Amino acid sequence: MNQDQKNNMSSLSLFSSKSSNLSGEIIIPGDKSISHRCVILSSLAIGESKITGLLNSSDVYCTINCMKSLGSSIDFNSYNECIINGIGIGSLKEAERPIDFGNSGTAARLILGLVSTYPIETIFIGDESLSQRPMKRVTEPLVDFGANFNLRNSEFLPIKVKGAELPIPITHEMKVASAQVKSAIMLAGLNTPGTTTIIEKEKTRDHTETLFKYYGYEINVEKKDGKNFISFEGQKVLNPVNIKIPGDPSSAAYPLVAGLICKNSNIKIKSVLSNSTRNGIYKCLDEMGANIRYSNKKSEAGEITYDLEVSSSILNPIDVPAKRAPSMIDDYPVLAIAASMANGTSIFRGLSELKVKESDRLLGIYHILSKNGIDASIDDDNLIIKGNTEGPKGGAFIETKLDHRIAMSSIILGMVSDKPIRVDDTETIKTSFPDFIELMKKLGAKLSA
């Protein structure tokens, strides 16, 4: 570690050391995507909604604080259920101050869409990572509703939004496969008279569509000529709901991969969301020969959940096709850790979208692997990983660059490495999985300050 790295190290840095015999049963926190959307839609419903299992993370708090500043009333009862008194579509008020979206791309992008069809002015700010992420992909289609945006360098936060006085509905064919952009347009369409239509070439996570239906809002989703058409009429009514959020499959993937690659392990994970627009990593792990059993199928929030049981497995390498990316876009870092323990060379194709996540994740994954002695390379938008079932040398110091998934993946890799891996900052993990370290320790992971 050089002097600069020492100076940058927060008191929340952590060593992750070789671990085995992981065991136990855990409950994964609520799905992040569904949590954001439930807070927004409950705020727009007329009446009181109760949300059980809302993800208690700093990203979701950004959405809660934002919706409060736009006029919604949000509290937690003594059972830690989130109670929201919705004010109805069309009733948002202007926030008194700039709204801080912290690290949350989902909150910022969805709410850019939401406010764009209200006659209010809003200023969006965020942390260092969020302020470097592209926003024009969202604002460009929203301009067609009649909104006006002033972006730093025409691309980044801070952004000043002047919402449309008289929004006009749009038909938009998606240019990037992004559920955030799609959902921003859908939220804009809610306060727009007439029919908003979105056409997707590649289907992305469909929680907004599912939740519209769950809140009693009529929406039409159909496949035509190989494309996904989503359309609905604006300015109707969302009904309040009682809803339980399923466990986040992207968070579950961390203990799951740990259970696969650490020796003599067996872990049970309760109530994990199963949705074909999110299941890419599970498909990959199944194809790699992972020992994962699915049981206790249930229906929650209009979605399906399963309990998972995972045990240590010999993993085969995998060639992941580019077309699978939308269904596993957040899960490449942890899949890369699994691939580094496979008995052969894996290739992940078509990873360009990873470059615009909380950090440049393609580079971030490459650094985690190569700094710990794993033979990895980037070829254009593809990542090649030479697996070694013995586990890597380890010993590296990883700078997480405000990226929770880079932090958690490094910690999982440390659990199979000869020498401990040190991550500079675990604080960032609070954005999606606040109990991650406690939960991993409970399973038997050797993590220390």
Which residues are at the interface with ligand S3P (CB under 6 A)?
Answer: 33, 106, 178-180, 183, 205, 329-330, 353
In 45-128, which residue ranges form alpha helices assigned H by DSSP? 58-69, 105-115
Let me know: does 33 contact 411? Beta carbons within 8 Å: no
268 DSSP assignment:
E
CB of 305 to ligand S3P, least distance (A): 18
Smallest separation (angstroms) from ligand S3P to the CB of 356? 7
Residue among 13 and 33 whose Cβ is closer to ligand S3P: 33
Residue 129 CB, shortest distance to ligand S3P, in Å, is 13
Angstrom CA distances, 236 to 20, 26, 168, 232, stand at 54, 40, 15, 10
Rounded to a whole number of angstroms, the minimum distance from the CB of residue 83 to ligand S3P is 23
Give the tokens for residue 245: 């959020």
Nearer to ligand S3P, 16 or 277 (CB): 277
Q: Do 209 and 221 contact (CB within 8 A), yes or no? A: yes
Minimum CB distance to ligand S3P smaller for 40 or for 329:
329
State the Rg of the chain over Cα: 21
Measured from the CB atom, the residue of 179 and 369 that comes closer to ligand S3P is: 179
Exposure string over 20-59, b if 16+ CB within 10 A, otherwise e: eebeeebebbbbbbbbbbbbbbbbbbeeebbbebbbbbbb
Minimum distance between the CB of residue 77 and ligand S3P, rounded to whole angstroms? Answer: 26
CA distances from 359 to 5, 107, 230, 372, 435 (A): 18, 17, 31, 19, 22
Tell me the CA distances in angstroms from 219 to 120, 171, 197, 222, 300, one per residue in order: 26, 14, 10, 10, 20
Annotated catalytic sites, by residue?
330
- DSSP-derived letter for residue 194 is S
* 87 vs 215 by CB, closer to ligand S3P: 215
Nearer to ligand S3P, 249 or 444 (CB): 249
Give the nearer residue to ligand S3P in terms of CB position, either 33 or 58.
Answer: 33
**Token pair belonging to 20:** 């085995």
Q: Helix crossing, 179-190 with 207-214: angle to 10°?
A: 30
Name the residue whose CB lies closest to ligand S3P. Answer: 33
Least distance between ligand S3P and beta carbon 277 (Å):
10
Min dist. Cβ of residue 51 to ligand S3P (A): 16
Instruction: Enter the tokens of residue 27.
Output: 């409950």
Q: Among 44, 361, 385, which residue's Cα sits nearest to residue 217?
A: 44
**DSSP structural state of residue 30:** B
On whether the CB atoms of residues 58 and 126 are closer than 8 A, the answer is no
3-state helix, strand, coil in the chain (%, to 5): 35, 30, 40
Residue 205 or 401: the one with the smaller Cβ distance to ligand S3P is 205
Distance CA 332, CA 408 (A): 12
Distance in Å, CB of 82 to ligand S3P, minimum: 18
